[in-house]
Structure 1
């Protein structure tokens, strides 16, 4: 089968190759991949991968959608059914799994990080890591849900859920997770303020009736306080890290919450402990979401609660170009990797 294989660190190590197809594991499911999406972690794996247990060569790609090829009779899915991949292999028996928080599973493995991933014509997974989709589900939109939108769902609806009357600040709103958080917070009825830059992006968000602050020209914290009559944001979504951390803390309302899922600009900002305890602020770490959150996300999408924004679509052969697009400042929304046509449309 054809796949995108990371053979060594760096752009030259990303190779479109022919490799053996995976066997159907005992009790598992073999899936024909239709589409996947590009995520920041793909670039991290390409360039570094430190702290993630894995070995090269390894198939890249974390999330995606496909159709069942082979499955045990008791797997809960049948050949040709369309399925969305939950981006974890989890044991199902540790205390975290039993409590319904699969991302904390002690033996969790993520495709494209700890094991072969989704940028391939086929993948094998445990049946419990698959969720059935309707036959008419939009493949490109489904492909982007597993990482970006699931991560945003937990950030928006997790320990400090947004809702009507709350104010949510989303830093760097043009990225996949951040844009998803904007959509979900608006779906929840919250007032949303975003930071971004570039006239096209600023105009895009303002056309959605979202307050948009240009982080290159404005003092973000002062702008947020001005927009909220000095109150600040009840919830701040920040996956940028060191570069935005100070502004995120200064933008928070008293008793507010900051949720972080990334540190693309650095992982060691000032903690600003005095501000934390004086204003009784909370900081939460977040990584993707559990299976129940995944199901709720899918239901919200299928019912029309939101429509994922697709920036661009690339074939499997052009994953390196998709990576370049991910790093381009004009990119807005998610990038899809088209792998195969569905049997429903072929």
Structure 2
């Protein structure tokens, strides 16, 4: 173990949830693993809270494979409804990770709030003892390349009591948020801020946010309001009160006829992590020169696109995964200046990850689910 100057000792082993391969909940195993040793330029973080996201479920299911064309919930149900032998024997797509083959066995967990408890050689000593957030999306070949890697997808992440991460991706944060609240931030808020940044959202523009009650959607709502936009939020009616508290200017039921209610060419930007059958309506809603930005497709990845809408109205379709350099520092600043606030649906002990993912997929919540490794 590395020399530790902030605590008297560190354990040799830790609790971790290890994803053993593509499949159902049987692939989530509670294991004792060695506490990682931070390498050159790395720090060891004691994980205090780890948010839960669609991407962890999608990776486990192999949903990123082009052979899967259904929504995340349907893909999960297919595993749930199969008997154990069928679930185990069914061949999984080797390219089911977001960049191809996933490096199983893998400790997932894209979000991390924690405390730096040890340093590897030549790591930033000022981080020791600090409460920190980890930048989930890491531009591994520099900011001039779109190549990127994600903690918990490409290498071991935060669904464990400790994680080792490059110090350059670790940000101290000074605020009164709880660990659970901070643990909800990196992936969802980073994704949302990156979408709005790349879509060049300006004050006074009209933004339609689909799936506004989810982690990314509720983050995008707050961040769009922070930029001075008018926000139309789409979610189930039972969730409207919570979204109104976040500042939504107009609330729309997810089953509503959006074209009838809003009209043709009524929005400047669509923030869409839903996709599915309703995608063609988004093209009708966009004004000339409008943009649609996406980084997900929870209602289904296969959509219909009328190219006449795209070219006759000079629309732009933006896919975003690689974060801009400013994205995460922006978030830290917003938190420390009190410009955004967390929205926690529930927290669970890490060992209850299956229950948490089952409730997550029921989509009855508003905000983020967070796992606590020491609970």
Cα distance change of structure 1 residues 85 and 283 upon mapping to structure 2, 3 Å threshold: same
Whole-angstrom CA distance in 2 between matches of 1:45 and 1:110: 12
Q: 1:250 aligns with which of 257, 281, 284?
A: 284
Cα distance change of structure 1 residues 257 and 290 upon mapping to structure 2, 3 Å threshold: same
Alpha-carbon deviation of 1:203? 3.4
CA contact (8 A) 2:232 2:248 kept: no
TM-score (norm 2): 0.81
Alpha-carbon deviation of 1:244? 2.8
Whole-angstrom CA distance in 1 between matches of 2:248 and 2:302: 34
SS at match of 2:34: coil
Deviations 1:95-143 (A, max 9, x none): xx143x6xx23xx331221111110011111111111122755322221
- Matches for 1:119-138 after TM superposition, within 5 Å: 119-134=159-174, 136-138=176-178
Q: 1:194 aligns with which of 225, 233, 246?
A: 233
Tell me the matched-pair count.
325
Whole-angstrom CA distance in 2 between matches of 1:187 and 1:89: 25
SS at match of 1:221: helix
Q: Does 1:80 align with 2:129?
A: yes
Whole-angstrom CA distance in 2 between matches of 1:280 and 1:186: 25
Whole-angstrom CA distance in 1 between matches of 2:182 and 2:278: 30
Q: Does 1:338 align with 2:375?
A: no
Q: 1:175 aligns with which of 214, 222, 231?
A: 214
Cα distance change of structure 1 residues 32 and 135 upon mapping to structure 2, 3 Å threshold: farther
Q: 1:55 aligns with which of 103, 106, 117?
A: 103
Q: Which residue of 2 aligns with 1:241?
A: 275
- Matches for 1:1-346 after TM superposition, within 5 Å: 1-8=14-21, 9-48=23-62, 50-51=96-97, 52=99, 53-72=101-120, 74-76=122-124, 77-91=126-140, 94=141, 97-99=142-144, 104-105=146-147, 108-134=148-174, 136-163=176-203, 165-197=204-236, 199-206=237-244, 208=247, 210-216=249-255, 218-225=256-263, 231-287=265-321, 289-340=323-374
SS at match of 2:149: coil
CA contact (8 A) 1:31 1:66 kept: yes
Alpha-carbon deviation of 1:146? 1.1
Whole-angstrom CA distance in 2 between matches of 1:273 and 1:231: 16
Whole-angstrom CA distance in 1 between matches of 2:186 and 2:259: 32
CA contact (8 A) 1:89 1:125 kept: no
Q: Which runs of 5+ in 2 are unaligned?
A: 1-13, 64-95
SS at match of 1:327: helix
CA contact (8 A) 2:40 2:121 kept: no
TM-score (norm 1): 0.88
Whole-angstrom CA distance in 2 between matches of 1:287 and 1:22: 28
Whole-angstrom CA distance in 1 between matches of 2:27 and 2:265: 49
SS at match of 2:355: helix
Alpha-carbon deviation of 1:268? 2.5
CA contact (8 A) 1:205 1:211 kept: no
Cα distance change of structure 1 residues 264 and 251 upon mapping to structure 2, 3 Å threshold: same
Q: Which residue of 2 aligns with 1:344?
A: none
Coordinate RMSD, CA, aligned: 1.9
Deviations 1:266-317 (A, max 9, x none): 2221221101111111111112623421001110122111102110011111
SS at match of 1:19: strand
Q: Which runs of 5+ in 1 are unaligned?
A: 342-346
